[in-house]
Structure 1
Amino acid sequence: MTTHIYQPAASVSGQRKSASALAALLLRLHFYIGLFVGPFILVAAVTGTLFVVTPQIETRWYAGQLFNRSQGAAQPLAAQVKAAEDYIGEGPHLFAVRPGKEPGWNTRVMFSQKGLGDSESRAVFIDPVSLEVKGDLTVYGTSGTLPLRTALDTLHRNLMLGSLGRNYSELAASWLWLGSLGGLWLWWSTRRKTRAATRRPMNARRLHSLLGLWIVIGLVFFSATGLTWSKWAGGRVNMLRASMGWVTPSASMQLQPASTGADAGMGEHAGHMGHHGSDGMAMPMPAAGDPARFDLVQSIARQGGIDASEIEIRPPRAQNQAWMVREVDRSWPTQVDTVAVDPDRMAITSRADFETFPLVAKLIRWGVDAHMGILFGVWNQILMAAFGIALTAMIVLGYVMWWRRRPAAGTALAPLSEAFVQLPPAQRTAVGALAIVLGWNLPLMGLSLLLFLLADVLRWRLARR
């Protein structure tokens, strides 16, 4: 026996009207994202693609600074640091040392200096064997990018406009995910027409849709990972992580006074090594931050589990602070462990191992590194470059579609606000609440949405006149 469910014609008509109103709103919003935010996304796509495909170019470009052909055993780090200090003279402050990660690679002795930007340092490249100075360059960030890729990275992040320019990339990331998912919904809602169009020759609209379907997951990934280090939305993300206990652990660089007995059992190597002369008398220890301690600190860290080939050693900035030794290898498997070393007690006093990170902190670390194209080496670069090229083509095709179908001058098109008013009350409430929530958590999205509405209404009224 078949049961037939009766559905009034008015109900069907109302559902169709509701779906049509929602489609009109999404279509209008998708259009605005493409027209006004599209240029920012395009710049981010092009500069990001250039950044991920240039590591090998940069290595070849700066081969003279990065590599050496010396034969023999490496000199102590203390000697390498002294060679760099003798070269650089008075003024710059010793900031960190990155020993050559394998034979043939030079050591970076990095100095902080007035006039450098955030996360920048001046690196003197020292041949570990001959102690010859091989180069003097400004390097940037944990990845240690050299001037070529630093310029591309700065262009990608802020258009070389400083903190003000950071708003461009955050605006692009704030809207990218919504434009992608909105386009996916529009394709799904018109898929019957799309199937019929597959029998027609390829055109700009169909190619735009196909590219969007192929890379939609990647676009959402780019948006999410880009927002994690943005200024305004990134601050909201950090607040959420702090409230949920998802903060990335860090090693404490603060040392406890020796009189508290904190040295008893604090480190894996406490008491393993002593500082005594041949007559058994205790010898005076070098001052905190003395370059002579680099070899000792590196040895303690290595014995304590810091086993990555790429490490960075930072001397303390004050008497009551420890030395920091951290792994900086962000390829797979990720090696970003950090330890705090007290060379007086020959101990590791604090540590933050990647395996102990909360899952969300690990996912964010992997996501950011994949976004930069460094997690899985060349395959990561190829994948990110493919996404960047496809996104660039998608935006260009979108502008081609708009140009071909642009309305005649003076035509009054329904504004975004009118499409919103046409929604049923329940949908209108839900969309309004969602807009408020997104506007609060993504401030540049909220501000630009208000500008969209203002521009849309003004244009509509002028066209009607």
Structure 2
Amino acid sequence: MSTITAAGPAEDAASGVSLYRAIWRWHFFAGLLVIPFMLNLAVTGSLYLFKEEINNSVFGYRYIVQPAGQALPAEQVAEIAAAAVPGSTATSYKDPAGPERSAIVTVASDAGATLVFVNPYDGKVLDVVGSTDEFNYVVKRIHSLAFFGGTTNRLIEITGGFAMVLVVTGIYLWWPRRQTGGVVSVRGTPGRRVFWRDLHAVTGAFAGVLIFFLAITGMPWSGYWGANANAWLTEHGLGYPVQLWDDVPKSLKVTEDILPKSGWIIEKAPVPLSDIARAQSAKPIGLDKAVEIARRLGMAPGFDMAIPSDETGVYTASRFPDDLADERTIHIDQYSGKPLIDIGFNQYPFLGKMIEWGINVHQGQEWGRFNQSLMLATCLAIVLSCVTGVIMWWKRRPAGRLGVPPMPPKRSVYYGLWVITTIFAVAFPMSGLAIVAMIAFDQIVVRFVPVLKRVLA
């Protein structure tokens, strides 16, 4: 009996050490792989939070105008914009959000899409910039790494999953275990490793929930998970309300194909067709009338108006403001002026509303300056976590070796972790598969290749 009693605590202690080491090893590998990507997300995300402020200051010359009498009709502004880019046609018109704002027209030509900024009072062209060259668009594309291609965009999706793993494993490693420091306080001085360890742990512990929030609310934009999640929600009646499209003919285009900006829930919703029969006997109502109809239906200033590209197309007015309650999209028949689809935020299913709300908070738009400051603080916490993690590793790294945390004494502890990984892989396939590959490399390749085992020790 005494032998059994003595073995129990010893076995529990060994299991605790094994679990701690396994999670520490996971945390190390995940951080090692994604630190460069996390830094990119934090820096570009911080810039994008203040896109309006950047537009109003750095690029104020093309966004801000002096009111001077009656504004020109939308159709005339669109014609001026098209004339500024030879061989182009206007594809969308952005209604000025206020009396001191310019009108923005997107035109298409053989060279691609171009944004033309026009003073709505005197018709002066303020600037012409390629739609893919606009500053905030470039920042957003670098943020997602889509700027460098589809493959790199997948890396950001994997990074989002790893960020969640880092938060959960980091909280486990931070959790108080009878230590007197490193929980809410930082010990030592910058010359000691414990200072950087505590600063890393305390930063992660206090910002962990917000970092996790940013990671999971960023997933809807990811190439694989986001597209499949949107399709699954729509298929199960949890995305955009498909019944609104039951009585209207639909084109092969989706909302994001015709608008400069669309909400995540409806970006894959089909664009309806105008009454083709009327195309033989009626004339299009024109952009001016379409804008008038949108305003009459309650569209607040600042909405985008997609212009039909052929005889079956529709005028589509959309607005995605900071206040989600005002998010709205209206498809208008180009001959009769009849609203074919009119959908607002209040018509989204509950889950759709939650996703749109998460995206809004992610972008710092939900609670004004407080929201921006909160997300900026989270981005700075990510930068601090990355920097302190690297310094902490560098200080404990043995000469000539990577300094990977030791493998757990009891390898059986991985059985439970494999189950957790499998569940995670089902929820986030790209990230899950990357974690499976990471663990397989660690448990199979490293164990049986002496050189790697020595370098990674």
TM-score when scaled to structure 2?
0.81
Q: Look up the SS of the partner of 1:152 in the other structure.
A: helix
Q: Residues 90-109 of structure 1 correspond to what in structure 2 (within 5 A)?
A: 90=87, 92-109=88-105
Q: Is 1:62 the counterpart of 2:59 in the alignment?
A: yes
Aligned to 1:269: none
2:274–2:335 CA contact under 8 A, matched in 1: no
- The answer for unaligned runs of 5 or more in structure 1 is 1-6, 141-145, 264-283
- Distance of 2:58 and 2:75 partners within structure 1: 29
Residue 338 of structure 1 aligns with an amino acid whose one-letter code is T
Give the residue type in structure 2 aligned to 1:383.
Answer: L
- How far is 1:199 from its partner? 8.6
Q: 1:370 to 1:200 in 2, by over 3 A?
A: closer
For structure 2, the 5+ residue unaligned runs are 190-194, 242-265
Deviation per CA, 1:74-101: give whole Å up to 9, x if none. 12112212222233232x2321000111
Instruction: Provide the C-alpha distance between the structure 1 equivalents of 2:76 and 2:45, rounded to a whole number of angstroms.
Output: 39
Give how far 1:305 is off. 2.9
1:147 maps to 134
Distance change in 2, residues 1:442/1:463 (3 Å): closer
* Cα displacement string for residues 252-284 of structure 1 (whole angstroms, at most 9, x for unaligned residues): 64247587xxx9xxxxxxxxxxxxxxxxxxxx7
Task: Specify the alignment match of 1:367 in structure 2.
Answer: 358
Who is 2:117 aligned against?
A: 125
Q: Is the 8 A contact 1:253 1:350 kept in 2?
A: no
Q: Residue type matched to 1:15 in 2?
A: D
1:422 aligns with 2:412: yes
Equivalent position to 2:344, from 353, 361, 377? 353
Counterpart among 388, 407, 414 of residue 397 in structure 1: 388
Deviations 1:8-60 (A, max 9, x none): 55444443333322212111101111222222212222222233245313322
Q: How far apart, in 2, do the equivalents of 1:196 and 1:393 lie?
A: 17
Please, what is the CA RMSD of the aligned residues? 3.1
Q: What are the superposed Cα offsets for residues 392-434 of structure 1, whole Å, 9 maximum, x if unpaired?
A: 1111111111111113446997765x667232xxxx4442222
Partner of 2:298: 305
Residue identity matched to 2:272? Q
Normalising by structure 1, we get a TM-score of 0.80
2:425 to 417, 421, 439: 439
Give the match for residue 109 of structure 2: 113
Tell me by how many angstroms 1:136 deviates.
1.0
Residues of 1 paired with 2:274 and 2:402: CA distance?
A: 74
Between the aligned partners of 1:206 and 1:96, the Cα distance in structure 2 is 53
Q: How many angstroms apart in 2 are the aligned matches of 1:401 and 1:360?
A: 41
Which among 115, 126, 151 is matched to residue 134 of structure 1?
126
- Where do residues 270-281 of structure 1 align in structure 2 (5 Å cutoff)? none
Q: Give the corresponding residue for 1:3.
A: none
Q: Which amino acid aligns with 1:254?
A: P
Instruction: Give how far 1:170 is off.
Output: 1.6
Q: Which moved more, 1:13-22 or 1:204-213?
A: 13-22
Q: Is the 8 A contact 1:45 1:392 kept in 2?
A: yes
- The aligned residue for residue 51 of structure 1 is 48
**Cα deviation code 1:178-210 (max 9, x no counterpart):** 101111011115354547995943511111111
Does residue 186 (structure 1) correspond to residue 176 (structure 2)? The answer is no
CA distance in 2: counterparts of 1:433 and 1:302, whole angstroms = 55
- Contact 2:182–2:199 (Cα < 8 Å) also in 1: no
Does 2:451 match 1:462? Answer: yes
1:74 aligns with 2:63: no
1:333 Cα deviation (Å)?
A: 4.4
Instruction: Check conservation: 1:95, 1:111, Cα contact below 8 A.
Output: yes
Largest Rg, 1 or 2: 1
Instruction: Write the distance in 2 (CA, Å) between the matches of 1:436 and 1:152.
Output: 34
Counterparts of 1:206 and 1:23, CA distance in 2: 17
Q: Equivalent residues in 2 for 1:242-281 (5 A)? A: 242-249=234-241, 250=266, 253-255=271-273, 257=275
Instruction: Return 436-445 or 292-301, whichever deviates more.
Output: 436-445
* 8 Å CA contact 1:208, 1:397 repeated in 2: yes
Structure 1 residues 355-364 or 17-26, which shifts more? 17-26
Residue 328 of structure 2 aligns with an amino acid whose one-letter code is D
Q: 1:130 to 1:368 in 2, by over 3 A?
A: same
Conserved? CA contact 2:71–2:121, under 8 Å? yes
Closer/same/farther in 2, CA of residues 114 and 370 from structure 1, 3 Å limit: farther
Identity across matched positions, percent: 21
Aligned with residue 209 of structure 1, among 201, 204, 219: 201
**Contact 1:340–1:348 (CA<8 Å) still a contact in 2?**
yes
Q: Tell which deviates more after alignment, 21-30 or 379-388.
A: 379-388
Counterpart contact for 1:84–1:124, Cα < 8 Å? yes
